[in-house]
Structures are given as structure tokens and as C-alpha cells.
């Protein structure tokens, strides 16, 4: 039973350590993501997503990145990258920190190779002086009739590919954490409104927070020359009836509270009214062009702001009142004017009021994603701009001493040949100078 279990585990390990498995999973992700860019997503285009055929909806392509099967594919890709990284770790570690000098001339790289003759002691001294002077770190081995070495420069470049693989794992994990735990939503509210966060319109994820947002002010500020400055929203966070945080946010200047970030998305003009219902004065903020409505308590009367002249000094509004689905009154009001509506309530126009639109987002995986980006940049820098140079050589004493020297070519051999040729020239120069001096 144990042998069978070990055999199954070994097969699973071999599958996930295979480059073919990684390429296949990357291909699946690429193809599926490509289809997802063509099919409207519910979070971005709800109406377009509704028009998609039933088979695509059943397969989850209208909310592709939140489907369990797509996350499963990403998870399998993560496992593949992790297994490949674990399998390569020991080799990279030995290459970086415990390199083995060659034990025979057959272990010297053959594509880039040179042979230098001379006295053994002078060859050793020349190799040590030239390579240490060029910044190489030498590891040597000495046995009867043989002295060998391996020299490395920029050895941390060996870790570039491993860090790049791990970076993709971290990026995928960050995206999965953000999609599974976080949420994205939107709300529009007028000055004075208090809205529980659980009542916002959510396009992705679920809201578990319990605080409320109160809009203290919303402004569309203009510069002295008439150009727009920015949209500004003064917002408070309310918990258990108390203000626990307050900040003014604007475009490119969000407000974050307990991991939830509010972004200024848009702005609309609105009007402040007072509804006097049998002595009860109710403040009302309505959005221009019928963006929202107010139902008069205890009645089937609905109040809309149909149009507005947004003049700060002399604003004018056009309102409509519906009874059920039927319009019963339309009127125009200037600042401070009051109208009697159906002998039921009195409506007074109190002035302009901003109506702010805020995007709400919680992404606990964003820091993980930034970590993945940093690892990716570091891995790419090590892979392409800090490529390791590795030279190895062996001095064998037979009839005469000779140094067989070679360089690891690697996949990116730019500069390797030049570096090797210069080292050979310098060693030969020292040997020639020593022979002339003697």
C-alpha cells in the first residue's frame, strides 16, 4: 500500500514538474482569457452580458474571472510553478554557494576553451591574480598531480529565472486573494445622505463590513478662469452612530478606511428641498435629470428633479410629481420659492447640492500583487542585466604543466567570449612576463 502511494505521489510530482504541463496550463489560461475579452462581463457590461447566449452563461464566461474552474486552472498553474521551483532550488543553490571544481579535463566546457602552458606555480598564481582582480570568486580543489578551480562573477544572476517563476506564483495568489475576499462596488449619494456600505451596488465579491458613509459635502469646484479644478467629496465613516473617520477625497486622491478604498468616480448637480408634511419638515436632496426620486411618506406621491439651471447665484429647478405611474404636476421654482403639492405637502427649493458618485473597492491581495511585481522586476534584472560569468580550469602535470581553461556559455552568451578571451590574454601575459624575468 505504501509502495502504491509512493508510486502515485511520484507520478503526480512528475506531472506537475513537467514543463509541458506548465505550457499546457498557460495555453488554457491564454485561450480562456482571450474568449473572456470578447464576451461582455457582468461586472463591466451588465446589459451586454444579458444578451450573450445561454451556453456561455452556463459555462460562466460572463463572469469568467470569478468562476471556480478558472480559479482552479490558476491554482494548478501555481502548483506547477512551485514544484518546478522546488525541483530547481537545490541545483541553483549548489551552483551559487557550493560549486564543484572540475575533476578532469572532460569537465571543462568545450565550446569556449583555451590551453596555456607554463610552470605550475606560475599558472596558479596568474589564474588567482587575474580572476580575483576581475571580481571572480574562486573555489579550488587540489589532489595529486592536479589543481582545479571554478570561478564565478555575478553569481546572484543564477537566481533570476527562479525568482521570475516565483513572481508569477505570487501574482496569481494575489489576484486570487483579491477576487475571493475583496469586493468592488459603486454608489451615488447626495449631500446629507447616510448610506450603509452593505447597500451599495456590488459588481464583484461580497461586502462584510458594517459601517456607513455620510456625505457632508460634494462640490464641483472651478478655477478663477472658469476651468474645472476637481470634484471634491467630504465624507465621514459612521460606526454605531459615531463618526470614526473623515476625509475629503477627489479624483486621484482616494480615501481608505480599514482596507476599503473610496475613489471619486463622477459628479452630478442636485437640488436641496424641504418637504413640509403636516408640520414635519423633511430635508430632501434630488439629483438633476431624474437620477433619483423621493416618495412622500404615507402616500403614493413621488418627487423628481427633471431639470436644473445650475447658477450659483440664481438657480432654477423644474420638478415633477407622480402619483403612481401618472404625472400630476410639473412646476418651476427659483431659490427659496415654495409650492403646494396636491394639498398634501409643501415643497420648498433651498438651493443647489452636489451629488457624488464613488467607486468602492477592497482588494486585500493588492500588497501581494505589488510583492509579485517587485519579485518579477528583480528576477528580470538578474536574468538579463546581471548574467553570471563562470570560468573553470584544471592544471595537470604530466611531461609539462598546462592549464586547460573554459567558460560556461549559457543561453545568453553575449560578452562571455570577450570576457574569456581577455582573461586568457591576461594570464598569458603574466606567464610571459614571469618567464622573461627569470
Tell me if 171 sits within 8 A of 162, measured CB to CB: no
Q: Are both 353 and 207 inside the same structural domain?
A: yes
- In the chain, what are the helix, strand and coil shares in percent, each to the nearest 5? 40, 35, 25
Q: Are both 90 and 103 inside the same structural domain?
A: no
Q: Are both 53 and 191 inside the same structural domain?
A: no
Could you tell me whether strands 137-143 and 183-190 are parallel, antiparallel, or unpaired per DSSP bridges?
unpaired
Dihedral in degrees, nearest 10, Cα atoms 422, 426, 432, 437: 160
Q: Are both 408 and 292 inside the same structural domain?
A: no
Q: Are both 247 and 341 inside the same structural domain?
A: yes
The CATH number of the domain holding residue 137 is: 3.30.310.80
Q: Please check whether residue 368 lies inside any domain of the structure.
A: no
User: How many structural domains is the chain composed of?
Assistant: 3
Tell me if 186 sits within 8 A of 361, measured CB to CB: no
Q: Which of 157, 145, 160, 152 is nearest to 100 (CA)?
A: 152
Domain range enclosing 412 = 99-154+387-437
Q: Does this model's pTM top 0.85?
A: no
Q: Roughly what angle, to the nearest 10 degrees, separates helices 160-181 and 366-385?
A: 160
CB contact burial 189-227 (16+ within 10 A = b; e otherwise) = bbbebebebeebebbbbebebebbbbbeebbbeeeeeee
**CA separation for the pair 372, 181 (Å, rounded):** 18
Q: Are both 357 and 406 inside the same structural domain?
A: no
Q: Are both 142 and 220 inside the same structural domain?
A: no
**CA separation for the pair 234, 219 (Å, rounded):** 9
Q: Please check whether residue 189 lies inside any domain of the structure.
A: yes
Q: Are both 86 and 111 inside the same structural domain?
A: no
Please spell the DSSP secondary structure of 19-69, one letter per residue. HHHHHHHHHHHHHHHHHHHHSPPTTT-HHHHHTS-HHHHHHTGGGGGG-HH
Q: Please check whether residue 313 lies inside any domain of the structure.
A: yes
Q: Are both 248 and 298 inside the same structural domain?
A: yes
pLDDT tens, per residue, the chain with 438 residues:
555 666 677 787 777 778 888 888 888 888 888 887 888 877 667 777 778 788 877 877 787 777 888 888 888 888 888 888 888 899 999 999 999 999 888 889 888 889 988 888 888 899 999 999 999 999 999 887 789 999 999 899 899 989 999 999 998 888 888 877 888 899 999 888 899 999 998 888 889 899 999 999 998 888 888 788 999 999 999 999 999 999 999 999 999 999 999 999 999 889 999 999 989 999 998 988 888 899 999 999 999 999 999 887 899 999 999 999 999 999 999 999 999 998 999 999 999 888 899 999 999 888 899 999 999 999 999 988 888 888 999 987 766 788 888 888 766 556 788 888 888 898 888 888 766 655
Q: Please check whether residue 164 lies inside any domain of the structure.
A: no
Q: How many CA atoms lie within 13 A of 244 on its CB side?
A: 12
Q: Are both 52 and 130 inside the same structural domain?
A: no
Q: Are both 324 and 419 inside the same structural domain?
A: no
Q: Please check whether residue 70 lies inside any domain of the structure.
A: yes
Q: Are both 217 and 340 inside the same structural domain?
A: yes
Q: Please check whether residue 161 lies inside any domain of the structure.
A: no
Q: Which of the listed residues 328, 362, 396 is the one where a domain comes to its end?
A: 362
Cell of 143: 589532489
Amino acid at each position: 500500500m505504501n509502495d502504491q502511494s509512493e508510486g502515485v505521489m511520484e507520478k503526480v510530482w512528475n506531472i506537475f514538474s513537467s514543463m509541458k504541463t506548465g505550457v499546457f496550463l498557460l495555453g488554457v489560461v491564454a485561450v480562456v482569457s482571450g474568449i473572456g475579452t470578447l464576451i461582455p462581463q457582468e461586472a463591466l457590461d451588465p446589459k451586454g452580458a444579458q444578451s450573450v447566449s445561454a451556453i456561455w452563461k452556463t459555462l460562466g464566461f460572463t463572469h469568467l474571472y470569478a468562476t471556480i474552474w478558472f480559479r482552479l486552472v490558476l491554482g494548478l498553474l501555481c502548483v506547477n510553478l512551485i514544484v518546478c521551483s522546488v525541483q530547481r532550488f537545490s541545483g541553483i543553490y549548489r551552483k551559487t554557494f557550493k560549486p564543484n571544481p572540475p575533476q578532469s579535463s572532460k569537465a571543462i566546457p568545450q565550446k569556449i576553451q583555451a590551453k596555456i602552458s607554463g610552470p605550475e606555480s606560475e599558472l596558479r598564481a596568474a589564474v588567482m591574480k587575474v580572476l580575483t582582480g576581475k571580481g571572480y570568486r574562486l573555489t579550488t580543489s587540489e589532489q595529486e598531480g592536479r589543481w582545479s578551480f571554478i570561478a564565478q562573477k555575478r553569481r546572484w544572476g543564477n537566481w533570476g529565472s527562479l525568482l521570475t517563476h516565483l513572481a508569477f506564483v505570487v501574482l496569481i495568489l494575489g489576484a486570487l486573494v483579491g477576487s475571493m475576499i475583496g469586493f468592488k462596488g459603486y454608489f451615488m449619494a447626495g449631500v446629507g445622505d447616510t448610506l450603509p456600505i452593505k447597500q451599495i451596488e456590488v459588481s464583484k465579491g461580497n461586502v462584510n463590513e458594517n459601517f456607513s458613509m455620510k456625505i457632508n459635502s460634494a462640490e464641483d469646484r472651478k478655477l478663477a478662469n472658469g476651468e474645472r479644478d476637481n470634484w471634491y467629496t467630504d465624507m465621514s465613516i459612521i460606526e454605531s452612530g459615531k463618526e470614526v473617520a473623515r476625509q475629503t477625497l477627489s479624483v486621484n486622491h482616494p480615501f481608505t478606511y480599514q482596507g476599503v478604498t473610496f475613489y471619486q468616480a463622477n459628479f452630478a448637480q442636485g437640488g436641496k428641498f424641504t418637504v413640509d408634511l403636516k408640520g414635519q419638515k423633511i430635508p430632501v436632496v434630488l439629483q438633476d435629470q431624474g437620477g433619483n426620486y423621493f416618495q412622500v411618506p404615507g402616500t403614493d406621491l413621488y418627487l423628481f428633479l427633471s431639470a436644473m439651471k445650475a447658477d450659483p447665484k440664481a438657480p432654477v429647478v423644474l420638478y415633477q410629481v407622480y402619483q403612481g405611474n401618472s404625472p400630476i404636476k410639473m412646476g418651476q421654482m427659483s431659490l427659496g420659492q415654495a409650492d403646494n403639492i396636491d394639498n398634501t405637502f409643501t415643497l420648498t427649493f433651498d438651493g443647489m447640492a452636489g451629488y457624488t458618485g464613488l467607486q468602492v473597492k477592497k482588494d486585500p491581495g493588492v500588497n501581494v500583487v505589488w510583492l509579485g511585481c517587485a519579485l518579477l522586476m528583480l528576477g528580470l534584472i538578474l536574468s538579463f542585466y546581471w548574467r553570471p560569468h563562470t570560468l573553470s580550469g584544471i592544471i595537470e602535470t604530466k611531461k609539462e604543466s598546462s592549464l586547460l581553461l573554459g567558460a560556461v556559455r549559457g543561453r545568453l552568451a553575449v560578452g562571455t567570449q570577450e570576457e574569456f578571451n581577455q582573461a586568457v590574454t591576461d594570464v598569458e601575459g603574466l606567464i610571459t612576463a614571469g618567464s622573461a624575468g627569470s
